[in-house]
Amino acid sequence: MTSSRRTFLRTAALLGAAVPLAAAGCSTTDPEQERSGGGTLERAKKDGKIRVGFANEAPYGYTDSSGKLTGEAPELARVIFKELGIDKVEGVQVDFGGLIGGLKAKRFDVISAGMFITPDRCAEVAFSDPEYVAKSAFMVPKGNPKGLLKPTDPGAKGVKVGVLQGAVEEGYATKLGVKKGDITTFDSQASAYNGLKAGRIDCIWLTRISLADVLSKHKGEPFEVTDAFSPVIDGKEQFGAGAFAFRPADKDLVAAFNGKLAELKSSNRLLPILQPFGFTQAEMPGAGDTAAKFCAG
């Protein structure tokens, strides 16, 4: 999951057509509603419901074993839209690469998938301010025997690092001194975990959020996730910011959403909503972390 998510972040190929894999009980936007006039916010308030697109990717937005739509983004959506007078959030599942196309095709009204804000995407959609920022971490054996705490440690200590194929961490590791022969790429989080367990690598380098999700699936096993950090490459701090995405025409909806999100941040109500999905204070956006900042690159 993380590999595809990260690879998508760096390519404009994301902006293709949606794949209409609707979740059970969900459908596309009603054409009759679109003909009735009024903006998305006005219509959603009138109908008491709004449709969100998601990619079935934990911990961002997914259906659980009972078929319920959940994850950090859908649960945050429920809180914000309820405060805007919209009681029901319905999910439409598409492939991650089809989310922007699905939004533009009006198959749903909002992308609720923890999507990173990038300049390419900002040319296609209107982002809310971020609900989280994603910093890096290492998964290491319990006790962290190699003492890996900073992004420069693996290169300085000559350890073997596991990354996901196509993910940005391989570039981080190389630029921060890890020898290419000490970097092993894996095709999934599960295979990276198995590599660490087998002793083929000394650590896995991913976002702290993703590693926490992996660790939650292996409770009681002798591994831990380090504190979060942000690599500095060419003088620039490296991390992503996840946000909701809207059609550019829905300026009133974006403004209303941002207003409620700002209230949650200022009243310290945001973290408790995201915390059940592995998010911590380390992932909370700072005062200067706005959509405009990340759209600028």
Does residue 147 contact residue 296 with C-beta atoms inside 8 Å? no
pLDDT digits (tens, 9 = 90+) for 204-240: 999 899 899 899 989 999 999 999 999 999 898 888 8
pLDDT (0 to 100) of residue 58? 84
What is the Cα–Cα distance from 237 to 288, expressed in whole angstroms? 14
Residue 84 has pLDDT above 90, yes or no: yes
All structural domains of the chain: 2-133+241-295 (3.40.190.10), 136-237 (3.40.190.10)
Alpha-helical segments (H) within 17-71: 31-35, 40-47
- H or E element: which one contains 212? helix 208-216
Does residue 29 contact residue 106 with C-beta atoms inside 8 Å? yes
* pLDDT band of 38, cuts 50, 70, 90: low
Residue 129 has pLDDT above 60, yes or no: yes
Average pLDDT over all residues of the chain:
87
Residue 17 has pLDDT above 60, yes or no: no
Lowest mean pLDDT among 12-26, 105-119, 144-158, 259-273: 12-26
**What share of the chain has pLDDT > 90, as a percent?**
72
Residue 271 has pLDDT above 60, yes or no: yes
Phi, psi of 276 (to 5 degrees): -60, -15
Residue 287 has pLDDT above 60, yes or no: yes
Phi, psi of 287 (to 5 degrees): -60, -30
More confident residue, 107 or 134: 107
Q: What are the tokens at 130?
A: 């971020």
Averaged pLDDT, 184-192: 90
Averaged pLDDT, 36-53: 89
* pLDDT band of 297, cuts 50, 70, 90: confident
Q: What are the tokens at 164?
A: 């996901």
Residue 56 has pLDDT above 90, yes or no: no
What is the Cα–Cα distance from 78 to 195, expressed in whole angstroms? 38
pLDDT (0 to 100) of residue 239? 84
CB atoms near residue 196 (< 10 Å): 23
* pLDDT band of 82, cuts 50, 70, 90: very high
Q: How far, CA to CA in Å, does 25 sit from each of 59, 67, 69, 145, 292?
A: 21, 10, 11, 49, 36
What is the Cα–Cα distance from 276 to 278, expressed in whole angstroms? 6
pTM (2 d.p.): 0.76
